[in-house]
């Protein structure tokens, strides 16, 4: 069966006011060739046509290769800096990740990349963790961060923003940020250890706002519903970044659009990608 090609109708593009040379998107589970359980979801059924981009998900590697080729064809970008994400705060230059891959080396271990080069994409994979895309308004530099709770608490957003600002020759407060789809505040149950990781080291208004991002569960003592987008916004605001969009799409509850590890366990991976074009 011939499956439709990936189109811009299958992806999400940030609604931010930045230079046209900044290109960015987040894929959904639609527009590829993967079959169940990595397929697309329609009318209560998992069907062929999923855009799983993760080789370690258990999907057929040939399907993943075809899906990645579809993404490259849609964007016109051949140089995509795939990473081995480890839920940390390491940031690398996209060029170093591409160089390692070109020499057959293992993928660079990091959870964010940055670049000021044209036609070189920073990319992170997601299936509940939050992707954070960053750029300066003039389009001099861009970056992509994989912000699950561990990376977020460890400072992956701060480190990425500082690197993007440095490449752009500006200050972090001038940057724009886009928060991509992630596990939402009604679905992300965590323990006190996660709350403590964020509460440590914050005070004043930030401490109160951080505490507000964790809603105690009356039915499960010691458990909280965590608002990952709110926690990311707080981190960005501490850097002086006020131009923040996105953060309103839940991967868990929107089965028709997104893969979710928390919901399904055996599932695909989406990608958040940002690059500079002429």
pLDDT tens-digit readout, 165-210: 999 999 999 999 999 999 999 999 999 999 999 999 788 888 999 9
CA dihedral 91, 50, 9, 23 (to 10 degrees): 20
d(CA 150, CA 86): 10
Q: Average pLDDT of 6-24?
A: 97
User: Checking DSSP bridges between strand 91-93 and strand 112-115, what pairing results, if any?
Assistant: parallel
Say what the pLDDT of residue 21 is.
97
User: Which has the closest alpha carbon to 28: 112, 99, 131?
Assistant: 131
Q: What percent of the chain has pLDDT over 70?
A: 100
Counting Cα atoms < 13 Å in the Cβ hemisphere of 6 gives 28
Q: Taking a C-beta distance cutoff of 8 angstroms, is the pair 100, 107 a contact?
A: yes
Say what the pLDDT of residue 2 is.
78
Neighbour-count burial of 241, counting CB atoms closer than 10 A to its CB (0-12 exposed, 13-18 middle, 19+ buried): buried
Token output for 15: 């609604």
Phi–psi pair at 33, nearest 5 degrees: -125, 0
Domains detected in the chain? 8-183+243-276 (3.60.140.10)
Q: Taking a C-beta distance cutoff of 8 angstroms, is the pair 63, 54 a contact?
A: no
Is the pLDDT confidence value at 4 over 90?
no
d(CA 36, CA 255): 13
User: Which has the closest alpha carbon to 71: 126, 110, 24?
Assistant: 24
Say what the pLDDT of residue 120 is.
97
Token output for 92: 């690398």
Q: Average pLDDT of 55-80?
A: 96
Is the pLDDT confidence value at 102 over 70?
yes
Residues 6+ apart with CB under 8 A from 50: 29, 30, 32, 33, 34, 35, 36, 38, 39, 40, 67, 268
Q: Taking a C-beta distance cutoff of 8 angstroms, is the pair 11, 25 a contact?
A: yes
Tracing tokens 């999923």 back to the chain, one arrives at 50
- Return the ∠ at Cα 269 (arms to 259 and 12), rounded to 5°: 70
Token output for 140: 């001099």
| pLDDT grade for 103, boundaries at 50, 70 and 90 | confident
User: Which has the closest alpha carbon to 150: 265, 231, 252, 66?
Assistant: 231
Q: Taking a C-beta distance cutoff of 8 angstroms, is the pair 231, 179 a contact?
A: no
Is the pLDDT confidence value at 1 over 70?
no
Token output for 83: 């990473």
Q: Average pLDDT of 38-53?
A: 91
């Amino acid at each position: 069966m011939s499956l439709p090609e990936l189109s811009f109708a299958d992806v999400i593009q940030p609604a931010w006011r930045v230079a046209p040379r900044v290109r960015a998107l987040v894929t959904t589970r639609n527009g590829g060739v993967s079959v169940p359980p990595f397929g697309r979801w329609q009318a209560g059924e998992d069907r062929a046509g999923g855009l799983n981009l993760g080789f370690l998900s258990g999907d057929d590697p040939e399907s993943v290769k075809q899906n990645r080729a579809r993404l490259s064809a849609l964007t016109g970008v051949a140089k995509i800096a795939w990473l081995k994400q480890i839920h940390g705060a390491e940031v690398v230059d996209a060029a170093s990740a591409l160089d390692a891959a070109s020499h057959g080396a293992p993928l660079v271990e990091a959870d964010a990349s940055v670049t000021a080069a044209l036609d070189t994409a920073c990319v992170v994979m997601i299936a509940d963790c939050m992707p954070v895309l960053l750029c300066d308004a003039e389009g001099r530099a861009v970056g992509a961060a994989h912000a699950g709770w561990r990376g977020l608490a460890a400072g992956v957003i701060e480190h990425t923003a500082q690197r993007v600002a440095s490449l752009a020759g500006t200050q972090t407060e001038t940057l724009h940020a886009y928060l991509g789809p992630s596990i939402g505040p009604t679905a992300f149950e965590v323990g006190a250890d996660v709350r403590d990781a964020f509460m440590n080291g914050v005070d004043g208004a930030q401490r109160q706002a951080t505490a507000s991002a964790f809603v105690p569960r009356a039915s499960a003592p010691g458990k909280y519903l965590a608002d990952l987008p709110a926690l990311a916004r707080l981190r960005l605001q501490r850097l002086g970044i006020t131009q923040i969009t996105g953060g309103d799409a839940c991967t868990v509850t929107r089965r028709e659009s997104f893969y979710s590890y928390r919901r399904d366990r055996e599932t695909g991976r989406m990608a958040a990608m940002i690059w500079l074009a002429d």
